[in-house]
Amino acid sequence: MAIAIRKPNEIAKLRKAGEIVGKTLQYLQNTIKPGMTLKEIDALGEAFIREHGAEPSFKGLYGFTGSVCTSLNEVCIHGVPDDTIVKEGDILGLDIGAKVDGYYGDAAITMPIGKISREDEALIACSKDALYHAIASIKEGMRFKELTKILEDFITSRGFVPLRDYCGHGIGTKPHDEPNIPNYLEGKPNQGPKIKNGMVFCLEPMVCRKSGKPVILDDDWSVVSEDGLRSSHYEHQVAVVDGKAIILTEA
Protein backbone atom coordinates (compact mmCIF):
# COMPACT_ATOMS: atom_id res chain seq x y z
CA MET A 1 0.00 0.00 0.00
CA ALA A 2 1.28 3.48 -0.86
CA ILE A 3 2.08 5.96 1.89
CA ALA A 4 -0.14 9.04 1.55
CA ILE A 5 1.35 12.41 0.63
CA ARG A 6 -0.68 15.15 2.31
CA LYS A 7 -1.35 18.55 0.79
CA PRO A 8 -0.79 21.70 2.90
CA ASN A 9 -4.52 22.09 3.59
CA GLU A 10 -4.65 18.50 4.84
CA ILE A 11 -1.65 19.04 7.10
CA ALA A 12 -3.43 22.11 8.50
CA LYS A 13 -6.43 19.91 9.39
CA LEU A 14 -4.17 17.29 10.95
CA ARG A 15 -2.46 20.05 12.96
CA LYS A 16 -5.85 21.22 14.25
CA ALA A 17 -6.67 17.72 15.52
CA GLY A 18 -3.13 17.32 16.85
CA GLU A 19 -3.19 20.58 18.80
CA ILE A 20 -6.35 19.47 20.61
CA VAL A 21 -4.60 16.24 21.56
CA GLY A 22 -1.59 18.20 22.82
CA LYS A 23 -3.77 20.58 24.84
CA THR A 24 -5.68 17.63 26.35
CA LEU A 25 -2.46 15.96 27.46
CA GLN A 26 -1.22 19.24 28.96
CA TYR A 27 -4.54 19.74 30.76
CA LEU A 28 -4.49 16.23 32.22
CA GLN A 29 -0.86 16.59 33.32
CA ASN A 30 -1.81 19.72 35.24
CA THR A 31 -5.00 18.22 36.68
CA ILE A 32 -4.26 14.62 37.69
CA LYS A 33 -3.62 14.15 41.42
CA PRO A 34 -3.20 11.14 43.72
CA GLY A 35 -6.59 9.73 44.69
CA MET A 36 -8.22 10.05 41.27
CA THR A 37 -9.45 6.95 39.45
CA LEU A 38 -8.50 6.04 35.91
CA LYS A 39 -12.17 6.36 34.93
CA GLU A 40 -12.27 9.91 36.32
CA ILE A 41 -9.15 10.78 34.33
CA ASP A 42 -10.70 9.30 31.20
CA ALA A 43 -13.90 11.33 31.70
CA LEU A 44 -11.90 14.55 32.13
CA GLY A 45 -9.97 13.83 28.94
CA GLU A 46 -13.11 13.05 26.93
CA ALA A 47 -14.89 16.19 28.15
CA PHE A 48 -11.90 18.39 27.28
CA ILE A 49 -11.64 16.94 23.76
CA ARG A 50 -15.36 17.49 23.11
CA GLU A 51 -15.30 21.02 24.58
CA HIS A 52 -12.64 21.89 22.01
CA GLY A 53 -14.73 20.74 19.07
CA ALA A 54 -13.27 17.29 18.47
CA GLU A 55 -14.36 13.68 18.92
CA PRO A 56 -12.35 11.29 21.10
CA SER A 57 -11.22 8.95 18.34
CA PHE A 58 -10.21 6.05 20.59
CA LYS A 59 -13.72 5.63 22.03
CA GLY A 60 -15.14 2.52 20.37
CA LEU A 61 -12.07 2.08 18.14
CA TYR A 62 -11.60 -1.68 17.65
CA GLY A 63 -13.96 -2.03 20.65
CA PHE A 64 -11.93 0.06 23.12
CA THR A 65 -14.23 1.37 25.88
CA GLY A 66 -12.42 4.53 26.96
CA SER A 67 -11.41 7.81 25.36
CA VAL A 68 -7.94 7.84 26.95
CA CYS A 69 -5.57 4.88 27.16
CA THR A 70 -4.56 5.01 30.85
CA SER A 71 -1.49 2.79 31.22
CA LEU A 72 -0.45 2.56 34.88
CA ASN A 73 3.00 1.49 36.06
CA GLU A 74 3.74 -1.89 34.44
CA VAL A 75 1.23 -1.31 31.63
CA CYS A 76 3.11 0.12 28.64
CA ILE A 77 0.25 0.79 26.22
CA HIS A 78 -3.52 0.36 25.75
CA GLY A 79 -4.45 0.53 29.44
CA VAL A 80 -8.23 0.48 29.94
CA PRO A 81 -9.71 3.12 32.27
CA ASP A 82 -11.23 1.46 35.35
CA ASP A 83 -11.76 2.18 39.06
CA THR A 84 -8.06 1.84 39.95
CA ILE A 85 -6.88 4.82 42.05
CA VAL A 86 -3.61 6.50 41.14
CA LYS A 87 -1.28 7.18 44.06
CA GLU A 88 1.92 8.97 44.91
CA GLY A 89 4.90 7.28 43.25
CA ASP A 90 2.95 5.81 40.34
CA ILE A 91 3.73 6.53 36.70
CA LEU A 92 0.84 6.90 34.28
CA GLY A 93 0.83 6.68 30.50
CA LEU A 94 -1.82 8.76 28.72
CA ASP A 95 -2.45 8.07 25.02
CA ILE A 96 -5.07 10.23 23.33
CA GLY A 97 -6.65 10.46 19.90
CA ALA A 98 -8.93 13.18 18.50
CA LYS A 99 -10.84 13.53 15.25
CA VAL A 100 -11.75 16.87 13.63
CA ASP A 101 -13.40 17.20 10.22
CA GLY A 102 -12.39 13.65 9.30
CA TYR A 103 -8.70 14.06 10.24
CA TYR A 104 -6.95 12.45 13.21
CA GLY A 105 -4.51 13.51 15.90
CA ASP A 106 -2.65 11.08 18.19
CA ALA A 107 -0.03 11.52 20.94
CA ALA A 108 1.02 10.12 24.29
CA ILE A 109 3.03 10.92 27.41
CA THR A 110 4.05 9.09 30.55
CA MET A 111 3.77 11.29 33.64
CA PRO A 112 4.76 10.98 37.29
CA ILE A 113 2.13 10.95 40.01
CA GLY A 114 3.78 13.10 42.66
CA LYS A 115 7.35 12.20 43.54
CA ILE A 116 8.72 9.13 41.77
CA SER A 117 11.93 7.11 42.00
CA ARG A 118 15.08 8.01 40.10
CA GLU A 119 14.72 4.75 38.21
CA ASP A 120 11.28 5.75 36.99
CA GLU A 121 12.51 9.25 36.13
CA ALA A 122 15.19 7.66 33.93
CA LEU A 123 12.64 5.33 32.33
CA ILE A 124 10.30 8.19 31.40
CA ALA A 125 13.20 10.33 30.19
CA CYS A 126 14.35 7.55 27.88
CA SER A 127 11.05 7.36 25.98
CA LYS A 128 10.67 11.15 25.82
CA ASP A 129 14.27 11.82 24.80
CA ALA A 130 14.22 9.00 22.23
CA LEU A 131 11.15 10.57 20.64
CA TYR A 132 12.61 14.07 20.32
CA HIS A 133 15.99 12.72 19.19
CA ALA A 134 14.31 10.72 16.41
CA ILE A 135 12.13 13.65 15.32
CA ALA A 136 15.19 15.89 15.09
CA SER A 137 16.92 13.24 12.95
CA ILE A 138 14.21 13.07 10.27
CA LYS A 139 15.25 14.21 6.81
CA GLU A 140 13.55 13.86 3.46
CA GLY A 141 15.01 10.90 1.58
CA MET A 142 16.04 8.82 4.59
CA ARG A 143 14.37 5.45 4.98
CA PHE A 144 11.84 4.63 7.68
CA LYS A 145 14.07 1.74 8.72
CA GLU A 146 16.88 4.21 9.37
CA LEU A 147 14.50 6.04 11.69
CA THR A 148 13.66 2.76 13.42
CA LYS A 149 17.38 2.10 13.97
CA ILE A 150 17.83 5.58 15.46
CA LEU A 151 15.03 4.86 17.94
CA GLU A 152 16.38 1.43 18.89
CA ASP A 153 19.95 2.64 19.26
CA PHE A 154 18.88 5.49 21.51
CA ILE A 155 16.73 3.27 23.76
CA THR A 156 19.42 0.62 24.17
CA SER A 157 22.11 3.25 24.76
CA ARG A 158 20.19 4.23 27.91
CA GLY A 159 20.14 0.63 29.13
CA PHE A 160 16.52 -0.11 28.23
CA VAL A 161 14.81 -2.17 25.51
CA PRO A 162 11.96 -1.40 23.08
CA LEU A 163 8.63 -3.19 23.37
CA ARG A 164 8.23 -5.58 20.48
CA ASP A 165 5.25 -6.29 18.19
CA TYR A 166 3.92 -2.71 18.48
CA CYS A 167 4.91 0.34 16.49
CA GLY A 168 4.40 3.88 15.31
CA HIS A 169 2.24 4.39 12.24
CA GLY A 170 0.96 6.59 9.49
CA ILE A 171 -2.09 8.73 10.25
CA GLY A 172 -4.45 10.98 8.32
CA THR A 173 -8.08 10.27 7.48
CA LYS A 174 -7.65 6.94 9.30
CA PRO A 175 -6.26 6.63 12.85
CA HIS A 176 -3.74 4.01 11.76
CA ASP A 177 -2.30 3.85 8.25
CA GLU A 178 0.84 2.91 6.33
CA PRO A 179 3.68 2.74 7.20
CA ASN A 180 4.33 0.77 10.38
CA ILE A 181 7.32 2.23 12.24
CA PRO A 182 8.70 -0.18 14.88
CA ASN A 183 11.14 0.88 17.59
CA TYR A 184 13.41 -2.07 16.77
CA LEU A 185 15.07 -2.96 13.49
CA GLU A 186 14.30 -6.06 11.47
CA GLY A 187 16.30 -6.39 8.28
CA LYS A 188 18.70 -3.67 7.16
CA PRO A 189 18.29 0.10 7.56
CA ASN A 190 18.89 0.69 3.83
CA GLN A 191 15.73 -1.23 2.88
CA GLY A 192 12.14 -0.18 2.44
CA PRO A 193 10.26 3.06 1.73
CA LYS A 194 11.79 6.52 1.98
CA ILE A 195 10.47 9.51 3.89
CA LYS A 196 9.02 12.19 1.59
CA ASN A 197 7.65 15.69 2.01
CA GLY A 198 3.96 15.59 2.85
CA MET A 199 4.07 12.33 4.81
CA VAL A 200 2.42 12.39 8.23
CA PHE A 201 3.10 9.74 10.85
CA CYS A 202 3.36 9.00 14.56
CA LEU A 203 6.53 7.95 16.33
CA GLU A 204 6.01 6.29 19.69
CA PRO A 205 8.95 4.81 21.59
CA MET A 206 7.66 2.17 24.04
CA VAL A 207 10.37 1.43 26.56
CA CYS A 208 10.79 -1.58 28.85
CA ARG A 209 13.43 -2.33 31.49
CA LYS A 210 14.70 -5.83 30.75
CA SER A 211 12.50 -7.67 28.26
CA GLY A 212 10.68 -6.30 25.22
CA LYS A 213 8.46 -9.36 24.92
CA PRO A 214 4.83 -8.22 25.26
CA VAL A 215 2.13 -9.87 27.34
CA ILE A 216 -1.55 -8.90 26.97
CA LEU A 217 -3.48 -8.89 30.25
CA ASP A 218 -6.89 -10.44 30.90
CA ASP A 219 -8.74 -7.30 29.81
CA ASP A 220 -7.54 -8.14 26.26
CA TRP A 221 -6.03 -4.65 25.90
CA SER A 222 -3.37 -3.76 28.46
CA VAL A 223 0.15 -4.60 27.24
CA VAL A 224 2.96 -5.25 29.73
CA SER A 225 6.46 -6.65 29.43
CA GLU A 226 7.02 -10.25 30.42
CA ASP A 227 9.56 -8.93 32.97
CA GLY A 228 6.66 -7.48 35.02
CA LEU A 229 8.51 -4.17 35.50
CA ARG A 230 7.41 -0.62 34.85
CA SER A 231 7.50 0.78 31.32
CA SER A 232 7.11 4.10 29.54
CA HIS A 233 5.58 5.45 26.32
CA TYR A 234 5.79 8.77 24.48
CA GLU A 235 4.31 9.72 21.11
CA HIS A 236 4.07 12.66 18.74
CA GLN A 237 2.48 13.07 15.33
CA VAL A 238 4.74 14.76 12.77
CA ALA A 239 4.51 16.05 9.21
CA VAL A 240 7.48 16.25 6.85
CA VAL A 241 7.61 19.79 5.46
CA ASP A 242 10.54 21.35 3.58
CA GLY A 243 12.69 18.32 4.24
CA LYS A 244 12.28 18.05 8.02
CA ALA A 245 9.71 17.00 10.59
CA ILE A 246 7.35 19.43 12.31
CA ILE A 247 5.40 18.30 15.38
CA LEU A 248 1.62 18.54 14.99
CA THR A 249 0.65 17.46 18.52
CA GLU A 250 2.21 20.12 20.72
CA ALA A 251 -0.12 22.27 22.82
> Which residues span the domain enclosing 84?
8-247
Q: Residue 1: what pLDDT?
A: 66
Domain count, the chain: 1
pLDDT, position 139: 98
2 assigned to some structural domain: no
Residues 202, 169 contacting (CB under 8 angstroms) = yes
The CATH number for 243's domain is 3.90.230.10
DSSP character string of 146-213: HHHHHHHHHHHHTT-EEPSS-EEEE-SSSSSEEEEEESS--S-TT-SPBP-TT-EEEE--EEESS---
Whether residue 81 lies inside any domain: the answer is: yes
160 within some domain: yes
In a domain, 29, yes or no: yes
Residue 207 inside a domain? The answer is yes
Separation of alpha carbons 197 and 5, rounded Å: 7
pTM: 0.97
The per-residue pLDDT for 191 is 94
Q: Which stretches of the chain drop beneath a pLDDT of 70?
A: 1
Q: Do the domain assignments include residue 1?
A: no
pLDDT for residue 86: 98
Q: Does 30 reside within a domain?
A: yes
pLDDT of residue 202: 98
Residue at 3 is within a domain: no
